[in-house]
Amino acid sequence: GAVVSQHPSWVICKSGTSVKIECRSLDFQATTMFWYRQFPKQSLMLMATSNEGSKATYEQGVEKDKFLINHASLTLSTLTVTSAHPEDSSFYICSASSGREPNEQFFGPGTRLTVL
């Protein structure tokens, strides 16, 4: 149980285009979903936290107009990287929590984004 999927697994796009990444909890309802970014050999960096039906809470330094997050249902959250640039190239990982103790986060497999 507690499976989280992400799509796509990897994507290559041209600078200036937008990319949408989907995160789905397959066998549980995720009251909270988290979006992380991880650069090579660095720690996970939390970008934003989203609760179903409400606006996402962004971490300091993360541009909410550039990284659009939608958590439309208890099983789906999307991250859209708008007007992507090469510096946005990274490993994007989502996680989901059911809200039940111990509030464990279940991670998706991640999406590797390369912006040319």
Q: What is the binding site for another protein (CB under 8 A)? A: 41-46, 49, 91, 93, 102-110, 112
What gap in Å lies between CA 66 and CA 44, rounded to an integer?
19
Beta carbon nearer to another protein, 11 or 107? 107
Beta carbon nearer to another protein, 78 or 108? 108
Give, as one character, the DSSP assignment of residue 15: T
β pairing state of 19-25 and 32-38: unpaired
Beta carbon of residue 96, minimum distance to another protein (angstroms, whole number): 12
Beta carbon nearer to another protein, 3 or 116? 3
Beta carbon of residue 7, minimum distance to another protein (angstroms, whole number): 13
Beta-bridge mates of residue 57 = 49
Is the peptide bond between 102 and the residue preceding it cis, with omega within 30 degrees of 0? yes
Beta carbon of residue 68, minimum distance to another protein (angstroms, whole number): 21
Beta carbon of residue 111, minimum distance to another protein (angstroms, whole number): 10
- Residue from 69, 61, 63 nearest 85 by CA: 63
Give the phi and the psi of residue 91 in degrees, each rounded to 5. Answer: -100, 115
Beta carbon nearer to another protein, 15 or 64? 64
